[in-house]
């Protein structure tokens, strides 16, 4: 079936945003990019640094409270509804809960054709890129690099440690188009039989 949603999961500073922008540039159709950063930006400023909301500790830990969880769940429902209404959507997220985070998205995206992509980056390299970015709390990259992938199932895993964002995006775009090609072959049984 045609891919309706691409979900990218990876730790902070693993390179998700760069891959998303490359995907938007190289995929033939227009795709919406909606990430966890979009959600956090949409929340009241007071929810940041709040126990009920989302709290970034000085050593890079992220803790989310009940208000964040509730808005996050509604957000996932809304993103799924956009895809069901015909928008192609690239989601980028940080599965702080590992497999449980994926199950939450699987439930929200039920019935949609999803490509699950893991974005890996060696912890030390991601920590260095965190310094180069300068706009993130130090320690997030290292603390999230492995834990976000625990128990998560992917259709494809890319690794930005040595590969450029654009190369990773091309791998993902190839997976999208080959899935589409398979769908087309399966979708025309008469021709296949006559072949």
Give catalytic residues, as residue numbers.
37
**Token pair in block for residue 131:** 């310094």
Q: Pick the piece of the chain touching a copy of itself (CB under 8 A) from 28-36, 112-120, 150-158, 185-193.
A: 28-36
Position 77 contacts a copy of itself (CB under 8 A): yes
Displacement of CA 19 from its chain's centroid (Å): 10
Q: Which span (31-39, 95-103, 150-158, 185-193) binds a copy of itself, by CB under 8 A?
A: 31-39
Site residues for a copy of itself, 86-105, by CB under 8 A, read 86-87
Tokens 């439930």, residue? 107
* From 6, 47, 141, 148, residue interacting with a copy of itself (rule: CB under 8 A): 47
How many CB atoms within 10 Å of residue 185?
11
* Residue 88 three-state SS: strand
Nearest to 94 by CA among 128, 63, 135: 63
In whole angstroms, the minimum distance from the beta carbon of 23 to a copy of itself comes to 9
User: Rounded to the nearest whole angstrom, what is the least distance from the CB of residue 148 to a copy of itself in the complex?
Assistant: 21
Q: Are the beta carbons of 168 and 19 closer than 8 angstroms?
A: yes
Contact, 163 vs 49, CB < 8 A? no
Would you give the binding string for a copy of itself spanning residues 147-166, x where CB under 8 A is met? -----------------xxx
Which 111-150 positions form the footprint of a copy of itself (CB under 8 A)?
A: 125, 128-129, 131-134
- DSSP per position, 143-169: HHTTGGGTT---SEEEETTTS-HHHHH
Stretch that binds a copy of itself, among 70-78, 98-106, 110-118, 177-185 (CB under 8 A): 70-78
Instruction: Report yes or no: 19 and 165 within 8 Å, Cβ to Cβ.
Output: yes
Dihedral over alpha carbons 87, 91, 97, 102 (to 10 degrees)? 50
Summarize as ranges the residues that interact with a copy of itself (CB under 8 A): 18-19, 21-22, 24-25, 30-34, 38-39, 41-47, 53, 67, 70-71, 73-75, 77-87, 125, 128-129, 131-134, 164-167
């Amino acid at each position: 079936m045609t891919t309706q949603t691409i979900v990218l999961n990876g730790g902070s500073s693993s390179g998700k945003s760069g891959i998303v922008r490359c995907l938007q540039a190289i995929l033939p159709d227009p795709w919406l990019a909606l990430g966890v950063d979009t959600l956090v930006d949409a929340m009241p400023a007071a929810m940041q640094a709040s126990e009920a909301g989302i709290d970034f500790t000085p050593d890079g830990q992220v803790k989310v409270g009940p208000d964040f969880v509730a808005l996050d769940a509604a957000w996932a429902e809304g993103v799924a509804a956009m895809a069901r209404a015909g928008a192609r959507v690239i989601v980028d997220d940080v599965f702080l809960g590992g497999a449980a985070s994926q199950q939450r998205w699987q439930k929200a995206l039920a019935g949609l054709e999803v490509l699950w992509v893991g974005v890996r980056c060696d912890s030390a390299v991601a920590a260095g890129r965190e310094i180069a970015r300068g706009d993130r709390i130090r320690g997030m990259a290292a603390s999230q690099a492995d834990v976000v992938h625990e128990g998560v199932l992917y259709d494809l895993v890319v690794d930005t440690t040595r590969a450029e964002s654009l190369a990773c995006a091309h791998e993902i775009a190839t997976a999208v188009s080959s899935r589409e090609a398979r769908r087309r072959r399966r979708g025309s049984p008469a021709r296949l039989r006559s072949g």
